[in-house]
Structure 1
Amino acid sequence: MLTRRHFIQTGAATAAITATPVFSQDAATHVVPEEYMPRIVNISNDFAPGEIHVDPGAFALYWTLPEGQAIRYTVGIGRAGLYERGDFTIGAKKEWPSWTPTPDMIERNPGAYARFEDGMPGGPSNPLGARALYLFSPGIGDTFLRIHGTPQPWTIASAVSNGCVRLVNSHIGHLYEQVPIGARAVLH
């Protein structure tokens, strides 16, 4: 059963893993507010179980369960003009994924991203965090959009990313274990 204790324990484990000199003290000591903790909620829509639905206005990701329920996670989303709506499929899953900024990211902010144009290995300071779900689209394949963790847990519940959906590392760890390859993910 999903309980607050589970998330506290996995959060503590993630904090222990990620408490390295690369992190600021804020990341290692950040406490996720109670209202941002995952919780089981009733949903009124008739969504099929086993789907991800992201509500950007509420900074919420729902993993749908049977019988009109879902697990609600608080997320960070893409900044204005960078959030991309769509109906996607989970095409890949990776633990401690590597990261390479897209050419558009480098063009928008070369000072922040050009030094990573050859990629960054996975690890505690990687922008994709502990886990990533890769969003694919028919006819395109990998869209370069991700649902992923973050080494900056204070950024959830805000529009800060370059288009991806981000969760606290312990929360993406929990979601990652439930979501199979091929699952539907809708960014509303």
Structure 2
Amino acid sequence: MTKTFRIDRRGFLCGGASFFLAGCTSGMERQFKLPVSPQNDPYYLSLYGPLPDERFPVPAVDLKKVDPAYYRRVVDYDGPERPGTLVVDTPNRYLYLVAENGQALRYGVGIGRDGFAWSGRARIAYKRAWPTWTPPAEMVARQPELEKFRNGMPPGLQNPLGARALYIFDGNRDTLYRVHGTMEEWSIGRAVSSGCVRLLNQDVIDLASRVPNNTPIIVRPA
């Protein structure tokens, strides 16, 4: 039996109810009301607000540093992938969690810079909350200042893997690429990392809560 995948729209949209109700004002009030920019939209301010209950409390995202096109949202999706699949649209800097009924949950991402980009079909072998980051030997060779982290950098807000990491395997082989969090808001929508796919910490926490181990992932080439 095929297991269907549904986005919990109630959980995803719950923060928006008050915003929509707030829009039910009289014609006179609407006449003098200035439009709310996405950066000041109460819904997105709630979606990307602080997470004080995390092991390392996560501060609110400065939405002025993120293009609104990369805010998390439910979108129409007409790709051929089965529900439950992760799809990284490298050229457009999006990650999709495919749902049924022609929809997907879309996140903005930062991707690998030229020379370090990776693409292909693989799986999320496992996930880690507040992971240790261990730079590959070849990265240490390129950047000697990372020698002190050869055996691992402890978790925390400054750890390059952020609040969550999803480990990408090709069969039983670790590709050394990850889907992970970041504190660097400005990097979303850009090609900056060493091949990994980075999301805002609020987004990667949400994503990790939705996908089980062995979730298939497709990274489309640039």
Same fold (TM over 0.5): yes
Partner of 2:182: 150
Does structure 2 conserve the Cα–Cα contact (< 8 Å) formed by 1:83 and 1:163?
yes
In 2, Cα distance between the equivalents of 1:166 and 1:152?
9
| Alignment CA distance shift 1:133-1:163 (3 Å) | same
Consecutive unaligned residues of structure 2, counting only runs of 5 or more, are 1-8, 16-42
The structure with the larger Rg is 2
Partner of 1:102: 136
| Alignment CA distance shift 1:71-1:123 (3 Å) | same
Higher relative contact order, structure no. (Cα contacts within 8 Å, ≥ 6 residues apart): 1
How many Å apart are 1:104 and its aligned residue? 1.5
Q: Does 1:18 align with 2:58?
A: yes
In 1, Cα distance between the equivalents of 2:132 and 2:164?
10
Q: Does 1:89 align with 2:129?
A: no
In 2, Cα distance between the equivalents of 1:11 and 1:35?
14
Per mean C-alpha deviation after superposition, the further-off stretch among 125-134 and 38-47 is 38-47
**Pairing of 1:46-61 with structure 2 (within 5 A):** 46-61=80-95
Deviation digits for residues 85-138 of structure 1 (CA, Å, limit 9, x no counterpart): 111111110000110111121122223x22211211111111000011100111
Per mean C-alpha deviation after superposition, the further-off stretch among 96-105 and 33-42 is 33-42
Partner of 1:175: 207
3-state secondary structure, aligned to 1:175:
helix
User: 1:176 corresponds to which letter in structure 2?
Assistant: A
How many Å apart are 1:4 and its aligned residue? 8.2
User: 1:130 corresponds to which letter in structure 2?
Assistant: A
Q: Percent identity?
A: 38
User: 1:81 corresponds to which letter in structure 2?
Assistant: G
Q: How many residues align?
A: 178
In 1, Cα distance between the equivalents of 2:180 and 2:52?
16
Does structure 1 conserve the Cα–Cα contact (< 8 Å) formed by 2:49 and 2:61?
no
Choose the corresponding residue for 2:70, options 31, 36, 39. 36
In 1, Cα distance between the equivalents of 2:117 and 2:129?
24
| Alignment CA distance shift 1:37-1:117 (3 Å) | same
Q: Structure 1 residue runs of 4+, over 6 Å off?
A: none
Consecutive unaligned residues of structure 1, counting only runs of 5 or more, are 20-27
TM-score computed with the length of structure 1 as normaliser: 0.87
